[in-house]
Amino acid sequence: MLSYRHAFHAGNHADVLKHYVLSLVLGYFNQKEKPYWVIDTHAGAGMYALTDGFAQKNREFETGVARLMASDALPELVQRYLEAVNAVNTEGSLQLYPGSPQISAHFLRDHDKLRLFELHPNDFKLLQQHFAGKHRQIKAEMVDGFHGLKACLPPPIKRAVVLIDPPYELKEDYQRVVSSLQDSLKRFATGTYLVWYPLLQRPEPGAMVQALQQLNTQNWLDIRLQVEQPHADGFGMYGSGMFVINPPWQLPEILSSSMPSITELLGLDASAQFNLEYAIT
């Protein structure tokens, strides 16, 4: 059953955190001439209209990317993420929001490659249409992303960024992330893996992060952004996190200096905070 549609949430606080961290990692990969692959296991539609359709229902982008766009005091690397958003909009407007595949495409150089997996037939069609004519560099498949990832590893060139961003509608997604990474690290230990997860009042996200910290890797980083007080009824997402395996060594410093402004802009109440943990040898 696939009921999740990312278009409802495009550009919200969780997308901002996820795509900001992705942009930082890709900016780091671009510092070396050597080509790399980006593998996006749960790609979504690639691009989202904000002015009509699903995104207008709850207008989640208004408390997400729109708040950053309205600020004139952002750290330079946050601005570089926003350049990927501006690149798909006419000057100053916010009509479209780029999904993770388009964020990656923005950073890719001619010799880098993007592999995309998306299971929802409608979103897959939109994804294909969005990247039509770019088959030499970007390949999208309507395949389970965890299976797709297995088939890609190790990549033919030994540099790769993997984004794992499931909807977590099914509880089994949490366990699938952990087992997929156990397998991926055996196939390709030096890859940089990014896992997005929601902050919820239920045990699965925390248990997943604990299991990820115990994987066979010395290098990891966990950044969480809480935007509001957890709801009294116990439901709802009150923030999100990104767990990064083999992060660029500069990532802790960059996040320590930029997350205070992001937290201030995206916070919905006084409990807004970020939490950064890492182990880098």
Binding site for ligand SAM (CB under 6 A): 2, 4, 6, 15, 18, 42-44, 99-100, 117-120, 123, 144-146, 165-167
Q: Which of left, alpha, beta for 239 (phi over 0: left; psi -120 to 50: alpha)?
A: left
- At its nearest, how many Å lie between ligand SAM and the CB of residue 29? 18
- At its nearest, how many Å lie between ligand SAM and the CB of residue 125? 12
Could you give the CA distance from residue 92 to residue 193 in angstroms, rounded to a whole number? 33
Only one residue has tokens 């930029």, namely: 258
Which structure tokens are listed for 194? 């990014």
Is 113 within 8 Å of 38 (Cβ atoms)? yes
Annotation says 110 is catalytic:
no
- At its nearest, how many Å lie between ligand SAM and the CB of residue 106? 13
Could you give the CA distance from residue 157 to residue 33 in angstroms, rounded to a whole number? 13
DSSP annotation of 7 reads: G
Query: Phi/psi of residue 159, each to 5°?
Result: -135, 125
Instruction: Rank residues 18 and 158 by Cβ distance to ligand SAM and give the closer one.
Output: 18
DSSP annotation of 11 reads: T
- At its nearest, how many Å lie between ligand SAM and the CB of residue 165? 4
Given the residues 112, 165, 173, 222, select the one marked as catalytic: 165
Instruction: Rank residues 123 and 228 by Cβ distance to ligand SAM and give the closer one.
Output: 123
Instruction: Rank residues 47 and 255 by Cβ distance to ligand SAM and give the closer one.
Output: 47
CA end-to-end span of the chain: 41
- At its nearest, how many Å lie between ligand SAM and the CB of residue 218? 27
Instruction: Rank residues 122 and 190 by Cβ distance to ligand SAM and give the closer one.
Output: 122
Where b means 16+ CB within 10 Å and e means fewer, 51-85 reads: eeebbeeeebbebbbbbbbeeeebeebbebbbebb
The H or E element that residue 3 is part of is: none
Q: What order do you get walking across the sheet with 192-199 strand by strand? A: 138-141, 113-117, 37-40, 160-164, 192-199, 239-245, 220-226, 273-279
When CB distances to ligand SAM are compared, the closest residue is 99
Pairing of strands 160-164, 138-141: unpaired
Instruction: Rank residues 121 and 260 by Cβ distance to ligand SAM and give the closer one.
Output: 121
- At its nearest, how many Å lie between ligand SAM and the CB of residue 54? 12
Instruction: Rank residues 81 and 146 by Cβ distance to ligand SAM and give the closer one.
Output: 146
Catalytically active residues, by annotation = 165
